Amino acid sequence: MIFYPKYDLKTDTDYIIILGALVNKNKVSKSLKDRLDTCIEYLEKTNKDIKIVVSGGQGRGEDITEASAMKDYLISKGVDEDLIIAEEKSTTTKENFDFSKQIIEDISHKKINDLNIKVITTDFHTLRSKIISQKSGYKNVTFYTSKSSTSLAVLNYTREFFALICNIIFNY
C-alpha cells in the first residue's frame, strides 16, 4: 500500500528529517508547507528540542535551495534556528537520505543505526521513502506524514506508483 497515515508519536526521536519538495522561486509550495506544518505539529505534541534536518537542494525554477526555504519557513513559525540543520545538496529522495545520514552521523558521532530517525513527508511518498531509507542504511526509522492534497491525489499517487516501480527495477 502506498498510503501511510500520520502516526507514531510515541517513538523516541533523536533527529527529524523533512524531505524536500518543490519551491516556487523562494517560497515553499503547498506540499512542502504541509510537510513543514506537520513537523511543527509533531514538535508541539512531543519534544521541541529535537534536531531537524531540512533536506533538499536547488532545482529548476527554484531561486534558493529547498532546505533554505524550509529553514526560513520553520524559523518564521517560531522553531528555534539552532535546532535546524540544512542539507542543501540533494536532488532525489535517495540523496536526501544519504546526505542527511552523513550530516547526522558527523554531528552525533554515532552511526545512523544507533539513532531513532523520524521522517516527515507526504502520505503518498512514505512507502518509497521507507524502502529508500532502508537501502541507505537506516534501521530505526518511523514516519509522521502530511495528508496529500485531494485535488492532486490522482496525479501524486500515479507518479509515486511509477517512481516506486522504477525504484524496485533499478534498485535506487
pLDDT digits (tens, 9 = 90+) for 143-169: 998 877 555 555 555 666 656 566 666
More confident residue, 4 or 46: 46
CATH number, residue 86: 3.40.50.620
* Residue 86: all three cell numbers together: 540544512
The model's pLDDT over 59-68, given as tens digits with 9 standing for 90+, comes to: 888 999 999 9
The model's pLDDT over 17-66, given as tens digits with 9 standing for 90+, comes to: 999 998 998 999 998 999 999 999 999 988 778 999 999 999 888 999 99
Q: With respect to residue 80, please indicate whether it lies within any of the assigned structural domains.
A: yes
pLDDT at 72: 97
Per the structure, how many domains does the chain have?
1
pLDDT at 38: 95
Q: With respect to residue 10, please indicate whether it lies within any of the assigned structural domains.
A: no
Q: With respect to residue 7, please indicate whether it lies within any of the assigned structural domains.
A: no
Strands 27-28 and 23-24 come out as antiparallel
- Residue 5 reports pLDDT greater than 70: no
Q: With respect to residue 41, please indicate whether it lies within any of the assigned structural domains.
A: yes
Longest dimension (CA), the chain: 43
Q: With respect to residue 21, please indicate whether it lies within any of the assigned structural domains.
A: yes
What is the C-alpha radius of gyration for the chain, rounded to an integer number of angstroms? Answer: 15
pLDDT at 155: 58
Q: With respect to residue 148, please indicate whether it lies within any of the assigned structural domains.
A: yes
Question: How far is the CA of 91 from the CAs of 19, 109, 132, 162, in angstroms?
Answer: 10, 25, 14, 18
Instruction: Give the residue numbers spanning the domain of 96.
Output: 15-170
Q: With respect to residue 2, please indicate whether it lies within any of the assigned structural domains.
A: no
The model's pLDDT over 91-148, given as tens digits with 9 standing for 90+, comes to: 999 999 999 999 999 999 999 999 999 999 988 778 888 888 998 999 999 999 887 7
Q: With respect to residue 4, please indicate whether it lies within any of the assigned structural domains.
A: no
- What band does 1 get if pLDDT is binned at 50, 70 and 90? very low
Name the residue with cell 511518498. Answer: 125
